[in-house]
Structure 1
Amino acid sequence: MPFPTGSKPVKEMDSPRPKLWIYDHCPYCVRPRMVFGLKGITHDLAYLSNDDIETPTAMVGKKMVPILELGRPGSEDHEIMAESMDIVKRLDLDPQFGPPVLAPAVDRKDLDGWVSSAAMLMRRLVRPRNAVTPLAEFQTRSAREAFVRNHPLPEPSSYEANLKASPKLIEELERELWKLEGMIHSPTSVAADGKLSYNDVEFFPRMRGLTIVQGLGIPPKLRAYLDAVSERVDVPLYDKIAS
């Protein structure tokens, strides 16, 4: 694969390895990957091309990711699941995958509010860069065009215009990122006790996406958090391919 990813062969299972169908850039796909990494569950990652409609539709009835596939196709234990948080809960709570590792979510209106307010600014910086990365889901012109077509931006809508506006957008986002410094209470989680929780499962994937933005100054608490959680859950950041 053009970008290093995968799982640690820590826990062998009797049945075929769980398979997770994903896009690497997709925050929702990172959610179950975090549980795989935390639990050390040997698994396979299957990368879909961004223009592949047929494969996911055949499995779950529409184009969506992530998709978890368990058991052998054609056997009684074959199972397919969609919806990222349903997959997360299955992997975390099902005894066949070991004891639970995630702490319950707590009310974090501060984080939720920040993500909501900064969402469009992040999209303007991240989406145009996603479309030109060497990630597996963007290996063909058709796949890249499908991403641009399916992820429009409000005016100025062209990805090229938003790339040209990067210096101003980066400056704006950096100001917003500093507001997070008072909301991250541990280098290893957003909670003071350092335990990863369902809050992290929602927060880390979104922040990981920002590491694709070259030249973005990430404040120290957020940087330490991203580095620590990335290592802990075995999901690499994008610093090496940032643009």
Structure 2
Amino acid sequence: MDELGNLERVIRTGVDISTTLECIDSILLAINGLLFPRSVAISPPEFVTQSGRDYFQLRKEAMIERSFEQVLEEIPLHKQSAEKMLVGLKVLPIPADNGNTLSWDDVLIYPTLRNLTMVKGLAMPPHVSHYVESVAALTGTYTYYDSAL
């Protein structure tokens, strides 16, 4: 791990994001219900084998205490919860506002928001999509808008 990344790019200390994390955590079942089945369906490289997909599904179904089939039937409800939560998020500082650096807040928040881009038709407010696109550009990661399901 010591050889990964750019040592000159230090991760900044974050600010108090407890309310943002609470918003996300308050609908974790909805988020996981939207993301877990899609995580397998979009065919990422980590799931090239059937055994990998089966293992993921088995673990995640146990975590959310329902089958992927059941959670797929609940998509409208989960989508509504996610959209309501996203609208309620305060504007997140983008890396450009801080010398194109990431903070520990980004490390905690970005992955979930980025993964929500795999939900086709999810209404993501402009301030949230701008944040996701800004962090994606800085980190060289991709969003799932083009492969959303």
- Specify the TM-score bucket, using the shorter chain as the normaliser: 0.7 to 0.9
Aligned partner of 1:184 among 65, 76, 91:
91
Structure 2 CA distance for partners of 1:192 and 1:99, relative to 1, 3 Å = closer
- Other-structure match for 1:170: 79
Rounded Cα–Cα distance in structure 2 between residues aligned with 1:199 and 1:115 = 13
Distance 2:37 2:109 in 1: 21
Specify which of 106, 116, 137 is matched with residue 46 of structure 2. Answer: 137
Task: Give a deviation string over 1:175-212, Cα, whole Å, max 9, x none.
Answer: 111011xx2243x24x9757531111111111111111
Q: Do 1:132 and 1:144's aligned partners in 2 also have CA atoms closer than 8 Å?
A: no
How many residues matched? 147
Amino acid at match of 1:184: V
AA partner of residue 175 (structure 1): K
Q: Distance in 2 between matches of 1:151 and 1:102?
A: 30
Alignment of 1:1-243 (within 5 A): 68=1, 70=3, 91=5, 97-152=6-61, 153-155=63-65, 157-180=66-89, 183-186=90-93, 188-189=94-95, 193=98, 195-243=101-149
Give the deviation of 1:151 after TM superposition.
Answer: 1.4
Deviation per CA, 1:69-106, whole angstroms, max 9, x where unpaired?
Answer: 75xxxxxxxxxxxxxxxx8xxx5xxxxx4424322122
Indicate the structure (1 or 2) with the bigger Cα radius of gyration.
1
Asked whether the 8 Å contact 2:119–2:148 carries over to 1, the reply is yes
Comparing 146-155 with 201-210, which one deviates more in the overlay?
A: 146-155
Structure with more strand by fraction: 1
Unaligned runs of 5+ in 1: 1-67, 71-86, 92-96
- Give TM-score, length-normalised by structure 1: 0.55
Bigger relative contact order (CA 8 A; separation at least 6): 2
Q: What is the rounded CA distance, in whole Å, between the counterparts of 2:91 and 2:114 in structure 1?
A: 15
Rounded to whole Å, the distance in 2 between the matches of 1:237 and 1:141 is 24
Normalized against structure 2, the TM-score is what?
0.86
Letter in 1 for 2:131: Y
* Structure with the higher helix share, 1 or 2: 2
Say if 2:42 and 2:147, in contact at 8 Å, map to a contact too. yes
Q: Measured at CA, do residues 212 and 99 of structure 1 come closer, stay the same or move farther in structure 2, by a change above 3 Å? A: same
Please say if residues 33 and 64 of structure 2, whose CA atoms lie closer than 8 Å, have aligned partners that are also in contact: no
SS at match of 1:151: helix
Q: List alignment gaps of at least 5 residues for structure 2.
A: none
Q: How far apart are residue 127 of structure 1 and its match?
A: 0.3
Deviation digits for residues 4-36 of structure 1 (CA, Å, limit 9, x no counterpart): xxxxxxxxxxxxxxxxxxxxxxxxxxxxxxxxx
Counterpart residue type for residue 91 of structure 2:
I
Give the counterpart letter for 2:25 in structure 1. S
Q: CA deviation at 1:140?
A: 2.0
Aligned partner of residue 42 in structure 2, secondary structure: coil
Partners of 1:222 and 1:124 in 2: CA distance: 20
